[in-house]
Amino acid sequence: MSSFAMAGQRTTGNRNRRRLSRVGLHIFLIVLAFIFAWPMLYAIYTSLRPYGEIALNPNGFFSTPATLNLNNYFNVWTAGPLPMFYWNTAVVTIPAVLLTLWISSMVAFTISRFSWRFNLLVLMIFTAGNLLPPQVIILPLYKLYNIIPVPAPLSDNGRLYDQFVGLILIHTTFQTGFCTFVLSNYMKTLSKELVEAAMIDGAGVMTIYRQVVMPLVTPALAALATLLFTWIYNDFFWALLLFKTGDKRPITAALNNLGSEFGSDPTQIAAMSVLAAIPTVVLYMILQRWFVRGLTLGSAKG
């Protein structure tokens, strides 16, 4: 009885305190959100200012802008072949995402639906490999890429090195580890009866994969697709080291090239960074829900 009354008192006391703490929480979050957004806002602001004006001002960047314009964007866009870098990114990213989803869904389907003998081993090999730092294998991989022959339409120099197909291959391979893990977990949550019913109806393995399982994992695939796109788009390491042709690099790795071309002018580097960031930020804004779902799929089952 008394404990009941005390609980009641506590709730009323809490209500006032909670209102107060809610205001405090908002203030805290607003300040923190501003700190988080600041570097991005500042990059955008810098990209709109002419460098000449800043260089001549004794206060440098901490000065009231006399002019704000898009000149830096025009300069960057015309000086470097930016449309080509975006195109390179598309040529690598889109096939890599699709291939990864296709392959990992097949593998996941197999190891999650059937009592496959090496189920555990396969999953371990994929997952552990996916977690390895890529620097561990970069040099042997580079040498291997120079040995493996690749026929003409896929490669213009007969190898994997310096080729889109090579970059697609390593991205697909690395990401397959992650996606297989996620998808096999996801598929295990699907009801077994569906697959069994399909079997009873006489469906073959491929039919079950195509017509029963794939439609059910579409949400997971969509979520993974947004995530994969961002990761592959943002890759710097592989594209930097597995390409020798500057003009073949995807936009993220090309930033390094452009950085030296714009040398000491931070306003153009800012414009370039903003341009490079736009696709993933826009994608994120549109597909926010899928994004978060993709990230959490991987950890839903630990």
- Between 94 and 116, CB nearer to other proteins: 116
- For the CB of residue 128, give the shortest distance to other proteins in the complex, in Å: 5
- Between 68 and 261, CB nearer to other proteins: 261
Tell me the CB-side half-sphere exposure of residue 289, using CA atoms within 13 A: 2
- For the CB of residue 12, give the shortest distance to other proteins in the complex, in Å: 14
- For the CB of residue 39, give the shortest distance to other proteins in the complex, in Å: 5
- Between 86 and 257, CB nearer to other proteins: 257
Query: Cα torsion at 24, 26, 27, 29 (round to 10°)?
Result: 120
- For the CB of residue 215, give the shortest distance to other proteins in the complex, in Å: 18
Contacting residues for 225 by C-beta, under 8 A, at least 6 apart: 97, 101, 290, 294
Q: How many residues does the chain have?
A: 302
CB 101 within 8 A of CB 179: yes
- For the CB of residue 202, give the shortest distance to other proteins in the complex, in Å: 4
- For the CB of residue 16, give the shortest distance to other proteins in the complex, in Å: 15
The distance between the two most distant Cα atoms of the chain, rounded to a whole number of Å, is: 85
- For the CB of residue 104, give the shortest distance to other proteins in the complex, in Å: 8
- Between 94 and 158, CB nearer to other proteins: 158
